[in-house]
Structure 1
Amino acid sequence: MTTIQSNSQETQTNEQLNATFFDVLNSRRSVREYDSSAVISEEEIRDILATAIKAPSSSNMQPWRFLVVTDPELKQKLLPIAFNQKQVAAASAIVIVLADLEMYTLSEKIYGSAIEAGFMTEEVGNNFIENSTKMYSALPAERLKEIVVFDTGLVAMQLMLTARAKGYDSVPMGGYNRDQVMELFNISDRYLPTLMLPIGKAAVEGRETTRLSVDDVTFFNKF
């Protein structure tokens, strides 16, 4: 194979990958009507989550936790908690994204694995462990909350796009009673529910929406 042919094939492959990526971005819709007969296996959910958790986070603290609800009876219990939004009962799975307000307690596990993988030296890793534990544990509660809510937003977006890439639909939901979710699942105050995310197969495609233009929302070098 000549160099020209090789470069041409590589360019075509890159273009195909780019097209697939932008197709996923542009085809994602917020779907509220689901095929209630569609089933997502635990293996598929784990696969989606495994990609989603590659999202970035502050100091790589990865504060996201996922409560996955697939049991029909539990979904029915969630229905009134989510103000009777029908997608909660009809979707194949409901992923409740939680923020761990004490995520820094896992810093030794996080950086220890990075040391073991050879991504950083033991000295550097131990410094990260000490500094992150000290810093995050001393933050005011509201600032800590801002950080973990922001980070769970990043993973939630990645989760939705990954689901779309695998042929599933989703809709991000902030409209539900957080206190009742915590009571239903006996969740401690260490964890903050940030998002409820139904995932499944659309029975009715999500409607298209418009966006403000780039000129409406962007400022270059001055505000």
Structure 2
Amino acid sequence: MEVVNAIEQRRSVKAFDPNHSMSKAEIDKLLSLAILSPTAFNIQNWRFVVPSDPALRKEIRQAAWDQAQVTDASLLVVLCADLKAWDKEPGRYWVNAPQPVQDFMVPAIGQYYAGKDQVQRDEAMRSCGIAAMTLMLAAKEMGYGSCPMDGFDFEAVGKLINLPQDHVIAMFVAIGKGVQEPWPRGGQLPIGEVVIQNQFG
């Protein structure tokens, strides 16, 4: 499937076949593509929690207002981010770059993030959002439906997955074999309303 078709055809699937399982190879492929998603300064701050224990999935479902896709989807990915990834051996993010690039980029990471909690959180959300879209488009290309989710108790889910203190949850992505046609698009705003030339009036 071409990328354009995947974008046009991707819809949020709400009903998945609970008896369908994805192979380990398929899951590995999806996650391998997700980690190619771009991050600022290449800090790769996303962390992908994959709850495979059925009992844990049921508990997460309860924290997600009993939404069936949490347990019925073949794969649930809790997209998290390490807020302090920028400060954890930052040299490794540029280890394969030429030395002049390393000499410039590695110190710049700390200069950009140190002492700026809001910047760190904003970066976490950007990174996870990009990775989520990568997951959803890759899933579509592989013949699977997906659903991005933020309808859950973030604090409760954090406890269930033992979220480290310096991490944050951004969203879920549920992926699997859809069993119902998704709702029609609710209505797209005209491009002239959402695309602003040069500056707001």
How much is the aligned-residue C-alpha RMSD, in angstroms? 1.5
Q: How far does residue 106 in structure 1 lie from its aligned partner after superposition?
A: 4.0
Match of 2:169 among 188, 193, 197: 193
Q: Aligned residue for 1:111?
A: 94
Q: Aligned residue for 2:51?
A: 69
Q: How far does residue 38 in structure 1 lie from its aligned partner after superposition?
A: 0.8
Match of 1:44 among 26, 40, 48: 26
Amino acid at match of 2:165: D
Amino acid at match of 1:110: Y
Q: How far does residue 91 in structure 1 lie from its aligned partner after superposition?
A: 0.6
Q: Aligned residue for 1:31?
A: 13
Runs of 4+ in 1 over 6 A off after TM superposition: none
1:132-152 alpha-carbon deviations (Å, 9 max, x no partner): 13432232x122111211121
1:144-199 alpha-carbon deviations (Å, 9 max, x no partner): 11121112111111111111111111111011111111111211111101011111
Asked if 1:216 corresponds to 2:198, the answer is no
Q: How far does residue 126 in structure 1 lie from its aligned partner after superposition?
A: 3.2
Identity, % of aligned positions: 29
Question: Structure 1 regions of 5+ residues with no counterpart?
Answer: 1-18, 115-119
Deviates more, 1:192-201 or 1:180-189: 180-189
| Contact 2:84 2:120 (C-alpha < 8 Å) held by counterparts | no
Please identify the structure whose Cα radius of gyration is greater: 1
- Alpha-carbon distance between aligned partners in 2 of 1:182 and 1:216, rounded to the nearest angstrom: 38
Deviates more, 1:39-48 or 1:161-170: 39-48
- Alpha-carbon distance between aligned partners in 1 of 2:124 and 2:14, rounded to the nearest angstrom: 27
* Structure 1 residues 220 and 170, CA gap change in structure 2 (3 angstroms): same
Between Structure 1 and Structure 2, the one with more helix by share is 1
Q: Aligned residue for 1:133?
A: 110
User: What TM-score results when the alignment is normalised by the length of structure 2?
Assistant: 0.92
Q: Aligned residue for 2:66?
A: 84
Q: Aligned residue for 1:204?
A: 180
User: What TM-score results when the alignment is normalised by the length of structure 1?
Assistant: 0.84
Question: Structure 2 regions of 5+ residues with no counterpart?
Answer: none
Number of aligned residue pairs: 198
- Alpha-carbon distance between aligned partners in 2 of 1:75 and 1:41, rounded to the nearest angstrom: 18
1:79-126 alpha-carbon deviations (Å, 9 max, x no partner): 1111101111111111000011011114221111x2xxxxx3123213
Q: How far does residue 69 in structure 1 lie from its aligned partner after superposition?
A: 1.6
Amino acid at match of 1:195: M
